[in-house]
Amino acid sequence: MFKKNGQSVPDSSTADATEWQLSEFQVAEQDGKKRFHDFDLPLPLMRAIADLGFEYCSPIQARSLPYTLAGYDVVGKAQTGTGKTAAFLISIINELLTRPIEDERYAGEARALIIAPTRELVMQIADDARQLTKYCDLQVHSLVGGMDHQKQRDRLHNALVDILVATPGRLLDFLDSRDVFLDEVECLVIDEADRMLDMGFIPQVRRIVRATPKKDCRQTLLFSATFSDDVLRLSEQWTFEPIKIEIEPESVATDTVEQRVFLTTTEEKFTVLFNILTGETVESAIVFANRRDTTRDLFEKLRKKGVRCGILSGDVPQQKRVKTLERFKQGDLKVLVATDVAGRGIHIDGISHVVNYTLPEDPEDYVHRIGRTGRAGASGQSISFACEDDGFLLPEIEAMLGRKLECEQTPEALLEEIS
C-alpha cells in the first residue's frame, strides 16, 4: 500500500527551458508596478508566466510575493479576480523548484497542499497550477468528491505528488485510507477561509491542518475575501507570525465593471433577462439567482427559448458541471445560470455580462458575482434587477461597495414581449 518510489527526481529547475531565454519575455519597467522579472524566479516558471500573458504583478501578487518567496506566512484578504491563485502558486512552484528533494520520496506524500471549499475552485486552481508548471517536472493532483475516486487513488499510487489541491471532505477520505500523507507538507494554502466557515468545513480543515507539520515547520498562506473575527481567530491558530495583506474588494469590482441596476417587477424579469441575453452586446453571460429552484426554472425556460445555456448549481452532478464549464469556456454555451456557491469558482476571462436575476442576501456575494466579469483588466457590465421582493437589499450592497448604485427604469426595448 505504502509504495516506495525510488525514482531519481530530475533537476526540474532546468527542465525543458534550455531553448527558451528570458530575453524572449520583455516587459518594460514601469513606475509603481512590479514585474515578475523583479523576483528572480526560475526560468521554467517565467516561461509559463510569459505564456499566460501576465506582464505586471497584480496588487496581491506585488504585495505578497516578497514575503511568500522569503518563506513568511501570509494572511491575505483578497477574493477571486485579484490574481491570488497565481500569487500563491508562483511562490509554491518557486520553492519546489529551488529546493528539489534529493532523498527517496514516497507515493502519496504531498510537498504542497492547497485546500479550497468547492470542487469548481479546486479544479480551477489545479488547472492554473498545471499551466504554471507546464515547463517543470512537477506533478499536480486534484482530489474532489463526485469524480472518479479510483482514478484519483490510482494516480496517487503511481506518481509523486508535488502539488495537491483538494476539497476538505475528499482529502480526509484519502487521508483516512492512507492514500495521502501530509507529514512532509512544506507549504499549506487555505483558500477562501470565510467560505469554508460558511459551509461548515472548519472541523474538517482542522483535522487536515493537524495532519501537516507544526506551524513553525511549514509555510502557511491563508486567503479569505473577508476578515471576520472567526477568520482572524483561525488564522492566528494556523499561521506563524504572519504578514497581513489586505486587497480591497473595490479594486476588483468597481474598476473594470460597469454596474447597472434596473427597476423591474417580478413578472417582467424573465422578459428583460431574455432580451438582454439575446441582445447584441452580450458575448457571454452568467446569470445568478439565490435559489436552486429559481436557477433550474430559468435554465429550463431559457433553453426552451433557444438560448444556448448551462446550469451550475449544487444539485447538478460534478461531472456534468465540469463539462458545462468546459463548454462555456469554449464558447459552445453563451449563458451560465448559477447559484452563488457553484458560481464562486468560475474563473473565466472574457465574460461580458453578469446578471443578478435576484439580488444576493449577502452583500459580499454581490462583489463576488460581478467579479466574474471585468477580469484580467477587461471591461464588463453587471446588470442587477431590483424588484419589489428584493430591492430592500440594495442599501447593504451599497454600504459594502462604499458607493451609491444608480437605479434606472428598465429600458423600453428590454420590456418588449418575447415573440
Which residues here bind ligand AMP, judged by CB under 6 A?
Answer: 54, 57-58, 61, 80-86, 347, 349, 375-376
Q: In terms of CB distance, is 83 or 380 closer to ligand AMP? A: 83
Q: In terms of CB distance, is 81 or 363 closer to ligand AMP? A: 81
Q: Kindly state the smallest distance separating residue 49's Cβ from ligand AMP, in Å.
A: 8
Give the distance between the most distant pair of CA atoms in the chain: 70
Q: Kindly state the smallest distance separating residue 306's Cβ from ligand AMP, in Å.
A: 30
Cα–Cα distance between 83 and 280 in angstroms, integer?
30
Q: In terms of CB distance, is 128 or 390 closer to ligand AMP? A: 128
Q: In terms of CB distance, is 86 or 277 closer to ligand AMP? A: 86
Q: Where are the beta strands (DSSP E) in 284-390?
A: 285-288, 309-312, 335-338, 353-356, 380-386
Q: In terms of CB distance, is 65 or 261 closer to ligand AMP? A: 65
Q: In terms of CB distance, is 115 or 261 closer to ligand AMP? A: 115
Q: In terms of CB distance, is 287 or 351 closer to ligand AMP? A: 351
Q: In terms of CB distance, is 213 or 377 closer to ligand AMP? A: 377
Q: Are 92 and 131 in contact (CB under 8 A)?
A: no
Q: Kindly state the smallest distance separating residue 349's Cβ from ligand AMP, in Å.
A: 5
Cα–Cα distance between 189 and 173 in angstroms, integer?
19
DSSP state of 89: H
Residue among 36, 27, 30 nearest 57 (CA): 36
Q: Kindly state the smallest distance separating residue 324's Cβ from ligand AMP, in Å.
A: 18
Integer CA distances (angstroms), 113 to 108, 147, 183, 206, in order: 12, 19, 11, 14
Q: Kindly state the smallest distance separating residue 252's Cβ from ligand AMP, in Å.
A: 8
Q: Kindly state the smallest distance separating residue 240's Cβ from ligand AMP, in Å.
A: 24
Cα–Cα distance between 379 and 266 in angstroms, integer?
29
Contacts of 132 (CB under 8 A, 6+ apart): 45, 48, 49, 52, 86, 89, 90, 93
Cα–Cα distance between 192 and 221 in angstroms, integer?
11
Q: In terms of CB distance, is 69 or 387 closer to ligand AMP? A: 69
Cα–Cα distance between 399 and 371 in angstroms, integer?
17
Residue 77 CB-half CA count within 13 A: 15
Cα–Cα distance between 316 and 15 in angstroms, integer?
40
Q: Kindly state the smallest distance separating residue 119's Cβ from ligand AMP, in Å.
A: 16
Q: Kindly state the smallest distance separating residue 300's Cβ from ligand AMP, in Å.
A: 30
Q: Kindly state the smallest distance separating residue 54's Cβ from ligand AMP, in Å.
A: 4
Q: Kindly state the smallest distance separating residue 102's Cβ from ligand AMP, in Å.
A: 32
Q: In terms of CB distance, is 170 or 368 closer to ligand AMP? A: 368
Q: Are 117 and 208 in contact (CB under 8 A)?
A: no
Residue 154 CB-half CA count within 13 A: 4
Cα–Cα distance between 244 and 266 in angstroms, integer?
44
Q: Which residues of 76-98 are buried (b: 16+ CB within 10 A; e: fewer)?
A: bbbbbbbbbbbbbbbbbbbbbbe
